[in-house]
Amino acid sequence: MDNLKLSNSNPLVDIPVFIRRAILGYWIIYQFFLPLVFSLNRELVFTEEVIFVLLNSLLNLLILSPIIFKFDTVGLFHPLTFPALLALARAKLQDPLSFFYVNSDDTGFLKSSLIQDFNTTVDANFKYVIFRILSILLIYAGYYLSQIRITRVYNFYTNVPITRIYLTAGVATLFFFGFFISQGGVKAYIDSWGMEGGRRQALEGITVFVSFLRTLYFIPLVWYISDPKNSIRNPIFLGSAVLFSFAGFLGSGSRTSLFNVVFLFLSAWILRNRRVPSTTIILVGLIAFLLFGTLGQLRSSVTSKKSQTDLSVLSFSKIKDNLEYAISEGAKRQGEKPYIAVFGKVPEQEDYIYGLSFASILTTYIPRVIWEDKPHTVAYYTGKKIFHVGWSIPLGSEGEVYWNFSYWGLILFFFWGRLFKIITTFFVSYYWAPGIAAVYLIFLLSGASINSLNLGSLLQQLLLIFVGLKFMKFI
């Protein structure tokens, strides 16, 4: 099955029946049946573990229910469905072998490598699953109880002068090369991540320029959305798409920035062609998994070993090593489970941070060279205060909201659901406008969660994107 044709009537794109059934089958096998069977067949059966397995299965069903049961007005590109599909894709990208092999030790209670005490693990699991069930219900309530109407008529452009796009891409290309030339070249710049003691230290003072690099992808993205047929035949488009896709990783060392761009272009293709390219998705997934290991090896050769970049990892002879690295790192990340660590340590061992990480969103546009001690995103505090390491560890929405505001923070999810309704209603009204479609996809990918890391990054991008769209006359 190479392509799954979709309905043309839903601006959010109908989810194919095949995907709905596949997701239902995945939930039944991997999130209900196998965890329950393993928990009931242990030498020592813990009632608490069986109850948790059932609650966690209910949680996953709630998350996937808009996909499985086709909620009204919901589609593939909807904030109630797309983040769930994206999270599943990312999880399987990090650990693809989990489709074929399930370890009984990985079922039942969610275990963080940081927490060794069994009772603490049990308490953390129940706090997490109850908190998240309530958060999902409140998002649904905020969305479906909100009545939003778009009454004002906005004028957005669909056809823009190609010279404007060329000029914008040209200026962006000059900036790309100018930045790396000023740093002594790409290799010298990447070497500095290790020489300075880490990526965060190396990027101090140039974060504004790095943010610009991470945003360049929007030029070929909106170009493609505005003219999908002709753009892919244009060598300038193809060159800028490849160059700007890697700009984020080369500038910040973030592999996520590269994978996000890949997901964005794939999403834009589906949005414009109204088809899900099944074979292409599988191929892209395999390539992404290989890149996950390759770029991880490249980055690790600098940051972990504090030495110069090992370019040998890019050779074909290293493919096996890169795949093994990707598998081992994926397993490591699966073992961290920072959200369990937060629910286990806060507030007994680590106090609440009372909005500190969310304050970083308000200071997004203030350079750290001006305010050296300005608040960081939650990933920084998770690494420093929870895991006591020198690098950032991303934390999900529920963990961050709980760490900041305890259970009082749950009310934020109701208003987040209402925000979903406002944004979705606006997109449905203007889905035909390339600029609106591009910004909407970017929101789904990086901002559809109450997370300071994602929202801060989104705000940094939106200012530059708005200026670019305005210049190219898309808005």
Q: What are phi and psi of 5, to 5 degrees?
A: -75, 140
**Domain residue extents for the chain:** 12-144, 162-336+411-471
pLDDT value for 297: 67
With a cut of 50, say whether residue 348 has pLDDT above it.
yes
pLDDT value for 358: 95
Lowest mean pLDDT among 66-75, 276-285, 307-316: 307-316
Q: Strands, E, within 86-231: which ranges?
A: none
Q: What are phi and psi of 304, to 5 degrees?
A: -80, -40
Lowest mean pLDDT among 67-71, 209-213, 322-326: 322-326
In this structure, the number of other CB atoms found within 10 A of the CB of residue 230 comes to: 12
pLDDT value for 2: 44
Say if residue 347 is preceded by a cis peptide, omega within 30 of 0.
yes
Strand partners, 5: 275
Q: Which two tokens stand for residue 59?
A: 């949680």
pLDDT in tens, 222-235: 999 999 999 999 99
Instruction: Give the CA angle between residues 208, 214, 216 to the nearest 5°.
Output: 105
pLDDT in tens, 89-121: 877 766 666 665 665 556 688 888 888 898 999
pLDDT value for 102: 64
Choose from 151-160, 223-232, 315-324 the range with maximum mean pLDDT: 223-232
pLDDT value for 331: 54
Q: Which amino acid is at 175?
A: F
CA distance 74 to 81: 8
Across 255-271, average pLDDT: 88
pLDDT in tens, 402-457: 999 999 999 999 999 999 999 999 999 899 899 999 999 999 987 678 899 889 88
Q: Among 2, 472, 397, 475, which Cα is nearest to 223's?
A: 472
Helices (H), 69-161: 82-94, 118-144
Lowest mean pLDDT among 12-21, 199-208, 307-316: 307-316
Residue 43, classed as helix, strand or coil, is coil
Q: Among 395, 447, 438, 459, which Cα is nearest to 165's?
A: 438
Helices (H), 69-117: 82-94
Across 48-57, average pLDDT: 94
pLDDT value for 309: 65
pLDDT value for 1: 36
In this structure, the number of other CB atoms found within 10 A of the CB of residue 33 comes to: 12
CA distance 376 to 368: 10
pLDDT value for 72: 74
Across 285-294, average pLDDT: 69
In terms of C-beta density within 10 A (0-12 exposed, 13-18 middle, 19 or more buried), how is residue 429 classed? middle
